[in-house]
Every structure is written in structure tokens, then in C-alpha cells.
Amino acid sequence: MLKVDHIDCFYGNVQVLRGFSLELRAGEVLCLLGRNGAGKTTALKSIMGIIKPRSGHILLDGTDLTELPAHDVPKQGIGYVPQGRRLFSELTVAENLQIGLMTRKRGAATLAHVLELFPILRERLDQRAGTLSGGEQQMLATARALCLEPRILLLDEPTEGLMPTMIAKILEIVTRLREMGVATILVEQRVESALHVADRIAFIENGRSAEVVAPAALREDPGLLHHYVGVGIRATR
């Protein structure tokens, strides 16, 4: 469905991604794991067109996303939940969602559907986004991305800084979205979370794509995690 094909990305003269490749299949949750600075966020940003690869292609069902201007990429049906949420914090919750709806010209029906997934946001519609709690902000960032009815969802460390009940809630949403047929790329630091929801796990090392494995394989061979992420596996939930 989405095929990242040998892309090279730079910040100025510093190369961050080196011939990076990735394939996302329809309806799956693919977890991208790697150390800090390995290029996980850059990979998502290059899919969104925020960073243009110097070479290589990103194909979504045959359309080359690298040839589109950045603001046309989300219109192909890609919802982005950036790291640190990046809400429009001075705008209200309703206005943040409105921005999401406008991306692909969706209306009240989509909004109602999204608010069903996040009922708490319905009570907060007129509140400024910056005044929400951390967990609510993460829900809003996710809801905003869902407002464009994405085929693909890119989640960059959605559980960062949240308390455990909220993490469980976010992961539950990811699972429900998979049931609805949304394919997801999940960037995670928390290995337990990744193992919990992922269909496949792709490792990234120094900007290069490394092995892609099934979660079960990781449970059997914790050495992989140690190699790529530098942690041992804790109790899997």
C-alpha cells in the first residue's frame, strides 16, 4: 500500500536517512523501533513531505508522494500525529478538529464519528487546546488526524509522557482503528507498547532500514531488541 523506496534525507549537509526503505501493508499496524536519532521521526516527516528526500521514492498505491507539494500529501489520506502533539494550542478543541476536517473537506458526520472514539473531547469543544491535560491533548492530536478519514495514520511517540491508563487508552484506539481498516505506522520508544499492538516490527539503525520481524519473534529472541534499541524486554503485558 505505502512503499518507501530507498530514500536519502538530509538536514543541511547531515545525512539522516540512508537508502531507507519500508513497506506498509493495508490495514496493518507497523511499529518502527530504533534508538534516539536513528531517523524514526525523519522517516515520518519525509512521508508527509515536510522533508523532501534527495533521492528515492515514496509510493502510495502508485502515486509518488515525493512529487507532490507538502500540503497535498495529507489530501491523499494520510493523517499525521506529530511528536509532542503540536496542537494549535491557542485555538479551541473544535477549531483544531475543524482544521483536520478541512484537509479533505469532511463534515459533521466524520466529526461525530471521531467524537464517538473520544467522548471526552465532546465536553471540551470550546476549551483552548493548550489548557487540556497531556492525555487529552494526545487524544485531540489523534482525533485531529482522524478527522481527515485517513487510510494511513502516522503516530509519532503517542504515549510519550502519559500515565499508564492513558497509554492503554491510546493503544486501544490504535487497535480499534486497525479493525476499521486504517493502516498505521507507529513510532515508539516503549517496547512493551509496540509489542502489544504491532503486526510487524521494523527496526531502523543509523538511518538504514534493518530487520522486519513479527512480535512473537522478539519475545523469543530478546537479543534483537538489545541490538537495535539497547534495552532488554520487560514484562510483556
Partner 1 sequence: MDLGPHLLLALLEGTVAAFVLAVTALGLSLVFGVMRIVNVAHGEFFMLGAVLAWFLTSLLPEMPFWGFMLAIVGAPLVVGMIAVMADALVLRRLNYEPEATIVATIGLLYILQQAVLTIYGPDARPVVAPISFRVQFPWFGYSGYKFIAIGAAALLLLAAWYGVTRTKFGLIMRATQFDRETAQAFGVPVKLVYAAVFALGAMLAALAGVLIVPLQQAHYLMGLDPLLLSFIVVIIGGLDSLKGTILAAFIIGISDGIISVFFSPTLAKIIATLAVALVLVFRPNGLFGGRSR
Q: Looking at beta carbons only, is 92 or 206 nearer to partner 1? A: 92
Q: Looking at beta carbons only, is 86 or 226 nearer to partner 1? A: 86
- Measure the CA–CA gap between 44 and 22, rounded to whole angstroms: 11
Q: Give the number of residues written for the chain.
A: 237
Q: Looking at beta carbons only, is 21 or 98 nearer to partner 1? A: 98
**Minimum CB distance to partner 1, residue 98 (Å):** 6
Q: Looking at beta carbons only, is 56 or 77 nearer to partner 1? A: 77
Closest CA to 233 of 187, 188, 186, 192: 192
* 41, burial (CB in 10 Å: exposed 0-12, middle 13-18, buried 19+): buried
- Measure the CA–CA gap between 10 and 39, rounded to whole angstroms: 10
Q: Looking at beta carbons only, is 84 or 223 nearer to partner 1? A: 84
Q: Which residues bind partner 1 (CB under 8 A)?
A: 48, 50, 69-75, 80, 82, 86, 88-91, 95, 98-100, 102-104, 144, 148
Inter-residue contact 76 to 149 (CB < 8 Å):
no
Inter-residue contact 18 to 174 (CB < 8 Å):
no
Give the orientation angle of helix 164-179 with respect to helix 134-146, to 10 degrees. Answer: 10
**Minimum CB distance to partner 1, residue 227 (Å):** 32
**Minimum CB distance to partner 1, residue 88 (Å):** 5
**Minimum CB distance to partner 1, residue 91 (Å):** 6
**Minimum CB distance to partner 1, residue 140 (Å):** 12
**Minimum CB distance to partner 1, residue 105 (Å):** 9
Q: Looking at beta carbons only, is 25 or 75 nearer to partner 1? A: 75
E strands in the chain: 2-11, 14-24, 29-33, 55-60, 63-64, 78-81, 152-156, 183-187, 200-205, 208-213
**Minimum CB distance to partner 1, residue 65 (Å):** 13
Chain position carrying cell 492503554: 168
Coil, helix or strand at residue 78 = strand
Q: Looking at beta carbons only, is 110 or 193 nearer to partner 1? A: 110
